[in-house]
Structure 1
Amino acid sequence: MKLDSPYIKILSIAIPLLVVAMLFTYYYTQGHLPGAKRSAKATTVGYDNPIVISKGGTYSGNWESRNSEVAAVEIRTSEPVIIENSSIRGAGYLIKSWGHAANITVRHTKGYGLTPTPWIIYEKPRRFLIVNDFKHVVVENCYMENTAGIYIGDAYKGDSSPKNTIKIRFNKARNIDGRIYDGWYRSQFVQFNFRNSIQYAEIAWNEVINEPDKSLVEDNINLSNSRGTPASPIRIHNNYIQGAYPYPANSKDYSGGGIIADSWYEDGMGDPKEVATAYVKIHDNQTVNLGNYNYAIAGGNNIEIYDNRAVNAARFENGEKFRMWTQGLYGYDFYKKNSTFNNTFRNNVIGIMGQDGRNDNHYFPDGTVQERNNTFIEGEITKESERAEYQLWKTKLERNDIFLGPRITMPTSVSGKSVSSQ
């Protein structure tokens, strides 16, 4: 706590008052709960140093790391941890948990990417949250800007109940950015890349807006070898995704895009059919002004993609045309492992411009994906068409009484049961 003029006056009056002031200061910095500590020295006004959480509890505060090698918040426990009403900034990982069968809820929290610094051994993009070996992950009503999004791998270790699942809902993201020091790393708004089937998982009611030359997103949502169940498929629905560009944005080559089921494979992983992404429903999403594809299957089975919208004028705000490829839908066994089957694209509404006019050509070359009743929006798709799509999204939010992003003003104090500072 800053020692300002009122405390100087207290010191000049009497020692008893000094003792009272010291006790008050100690109580405040401990977060009003035994064992909750915050850094005595903040890296920036209003922000504390990085912390390590070693016990379950509820934590609120403002934390920052300007070193890409140090996470702003690291969680080293499998006990339930809630981070809420907080603001977190980082040059590398903002919130990290590795190897602890994590049970993490992040809500009503803001996250910001800072300028990356040099990394050692492996790249550390500015993930808002990165976990592996998890039981339960919830990210709701958060705001993230200039981060590398949410990464969930490598193994689901929950009990398949609703209390051991993934919920990513009601968030706002601006400029997913995979740029790191002296390079870039493939980054997404959400990446699933975990083994073992999960039930009740959901990515829903999120708004993601990427701006050209201010972002570098690969797939906005990517499911890699991540599986739901026949009774409880992974659901990706009612998301609004605007923007997917290379960097610089007027480049010709770009491999990212919208929402994709992916199923890469390496020897030793087991039967490809049992490893590939499976049991997924992707529906009622809106994608706008995306380079490359909008909705895709590059491998997997028992995947349904339906009742989505894709609108793309293939132009920037200044009227300049995209140089990269644009397409609505594609699906096939990209990895040729015979793990792609029983997949359907249906009842999607598509309006995509190419470099020289409409591009109404979907790509389903090998019969592993069926399509039916997908329709094309008539006429030229313009920037006004894209703006109308955003108004449609806002109307949908109002009609369903959905509020996005944090509801509560960020505090400056910390509360919790066990925080150790680095």
Structure 2
Amino acid sequence: MALAALSLLRVLNFSPHAASPTYQGPLVITKGGTYSGHWESRDSNVAAVEVRTKEPVIIENSKIRGAGFLIRSQGHDASITVRNTEGYGLPPTSYSDYPKPRRFLAVDVFRNVVVENCYLENTAGIYLGVAYTGDESPDQSIKIRYNRARNINGKVYNGLEPVQFVQFNYRGEVPHAEIAWNEVINEPGASAVEDNINIYNSRGTPQSPIRIHNNYIQGAFPYPLDLPEYSGGGIIMDSPGTDSLEATAYVSVYENQLVGLGNYCLGIAGGNHIEMHHNRAIVAAVFPDGKPFHFWTSGIWAKDYYKMGNTFSNSMHHNTLAVLGKNHDWRNEIFDSTFAAADEFANTILPDSITTKLEDAEYVRWQRKLRLNGIKPGPTPTL
């Protein structure tokens, strides 16, 4: 796609030593309030912005870049809103203690997290972990909406970490949580993403499931690109090592568009009360140079992968699928699903010839949907 090609050129031409705009050194926030500015850290051990307060913090109209975490908060019952902000990954440096991928936002222990109308490029996405400590009201939840991301990338110094556009890895039930209207484009050879969205032992509630809807996700590939196997993909529910009371649960995944992904588009590896419906998955399984993918591809799958007895009461229905298998040897819309893992019915398999033109048409469909709903994700990047 032309848009993806322009993004790749921007990545290749990006200079970490650009003189404009002027960036200040790392910022440590210890009091609540609204902050705007340009901050950077060229040291992977030091976050570009560190939030060390439970008071509500708003970061807006800013530009942030880092060799490690761009925005981080650890153990502060954080209430963080990030909006209309650009984030860029810088070349990673050596680190101490543990790898520090270039997360746009990484929060451990939180009451409220909002990320809206932001632009992420060459970062390691958004991570929410450890525990939710909010009051379960709509004002203390998770909202990740209207963002644009290009080339989610898990590179660290001399290595690679599994990273996502969004990962939930908290304990506790969070009502009113939403991941919606985001545009994520990963390019082969320029990105290093695992699952684009991974819900890992995290839960909504019976009355208010986590809603993952109306996202456009294009591209998921191994890195380096010539690796023969790839374990990432699109949107997955994952729940290893726990019983049904702590497993991923109460999630609704609907009206998303998944295009050109390796391995899988929609998956349930563990969890319960998960519904995936009215999504579209289009995979021509071919690189821009016309060569077919050399790694596994599939549309939807569900399996009690960990045998923990936590996978039940799930459904995958009314999804529209057009997926070529590895090396184009077969169609692979539905793979490895069992009734216990997910009740599948009324999924539509497109009879069309699956080509990159069909993928391109899906992006046109996405742009039309944005216009009809009056939504314009993210700011226009300035680097």
Does structure 1 retain, via aligned residues, the 8 Å contact 2:311–2:340?
Answer: no
Does structure 1 retain, via aligned residues, the 8 Å contact 2:86–2:381?
Answer: no
How far is the alpha carbon of 1:245 from its aligned partner?
Answer: 0.2
2:305 matches 1:334:
yes
Tell me how far apart the structure 2 counterparts of residues 141 and 47 of structure 1 sit (CA, whole Å).
21
* % identity of equivalent residues: 58
Q: Deviations along 1:235-257, whole A, 9 cap, x unmatched?
A: 00000000000012232110000
Does structure 1 retain, via aligned residues, the 8 Å contact 2:44–2:92?
Answer: yes
Relative CO higher for 1 or 2, CA cutoff 8 Å, sep ≥ 6? 1
Q: Deviations along 1:23-72, whole A, 9 cap, x unmatched?
A: xxxxxxxxxxxxxxxxxxx9965000001000000000000001000000
Partner of 1:353: 324
Partner of 2:9: none
In structure 2, which of residues 281, 285, 289 is the aligned counterpart of residue 318 of structure 1? 289
In structure 1, which of residues 99, 117, 124 is the aligned counterpart of residue 93 of structure 2? 117
2:103 matches 1:127:
yes
How far is the alpha carbon of 1:367 from its aligned partner?
Answer: 2.4
Tell me how far apart the structure 1 counterparts of residues 36 and 255 of structure 2 sit (CA, whole Å).
34
2:355 matches 1:379:
no
What letter matches 2:283 in structure 1? N
Tell me how far apart the structure 2 counterparts of residues 372 and 65 of structure 1 sit (CA, whole Å).
50
Partner of 1:190: 166
Tell me how far apart the structure 2 counterparts of residues 199 and 147 of structure 1 sit (CA, whole Å).
28
Does structure 1 retain, via aligned residues, the 8 Å contact 2:304–2:340?
Answer: no
Does structure 1 retain, via aligned residues, the 8 Å contact 2:89–2:122?
Answer: yes
Residue ranges of structure 2 left out of the alignment (5+ in a row): 1-16
Tell me how far apart the structure 2 counterparts of residues 104 and 252 of structure 1 sit (CA, whole Å).
40
2:222 matches 1:246:
yes
Q: Deviations along 1:266-285, whole A, 9 cap, x unmatched?
A: xxx6xx01110000000000
Tell me how far apart the structure 2 counterparts of residues 357 and 381 of structure 1 sit (CA, whole Å).
11
What letter matches 2:234 in structure 1? G
Partner of 1:234: 210
Partner of 1:37: none
Partner of 2:252: 281
Tell me how far apart the structure 2 counterparts of residues 316 and 343 of structure 1 sit (CA, whole Å).
33
In structure 1, which of residues 225, 231, 238 is the aligned counterpart of residue 201 of structure 2? 225
TM normalised by structure 1 equals 0.84
How far is the alpha carbon of 1:379 from its aligned partner?
Answer: 3.1
Tell me how far apart the structure 2 counterparts of residues 315 and 251 of structure 1 sit (CA, whole Å).
15
Does structure 2 retain, via aligned residues, the 8 Å contact 1:141–1:407?
Answer: no
Q: Deviations along 1:349-378, whole A, 9 cap, x unmatched?
A: 000012124224422136221101011111
Higher mean alpha-carbon deviation, 374-383 vs 180-189, is at: 374-383
Tell me how far apart the structure 2 counterparts of residues 169 and 286 of structure 1 sit (CA, whole Å).
15
Residue ranges of structure 1 left out of the alignment (5+ in a row): 1-41, 411-422
Partner of 1:262: 238
Partner of 1:157: 133
How many residue pairs end up in the alignment?
364
Partner of 1:136: 112
How far is the alpha carbon of 1:179 from its aligned partner?
Answer: 1.1
Q: Deviations along 1:274-318, whole A, 9 cap, x unmatched?
A: 110000000000000000000000000000000000000000011
2:271 matches 1:300:
yes
Partner of 1:405: 378
What letter matches 1:338 in structure 2? G
Where in structure 2 are the equivalents of 1:69-80 lying within 5 Å? 69-80=45-56
Tell me how far apart the structure 1 counterparts of residues 275 and 381 of structure 2 sit (CA, whole Å).
37
Does structure 1 retain, via aligned residues, the 8 Å contact 2:101–2:155?
Answer: yes
For the aligned residues, what is the CA RMSD? 1.5
Q: Deviations along 1:204-258, whole A, 9 cap, x unmatched?
A: 0000000000000000000001100111000000000000000122321100000
Tell me which stretches of 4 or more aligned residues in structure 1 moved more than 4 Å. 42-45, 407-410
What letter matches 2:373 in structure 1? N
**Structure of larger gyration radius:** 1
Q: Secondary structure at the match of 2:127?
A: strand
Does structure 2 retain, via aligned residues, the 8 Å contact 1:172–1:405?
Answer: yes
- Pair 82,408 (structure 1): closer, same or farther in 2 beyond 3 Å: farther
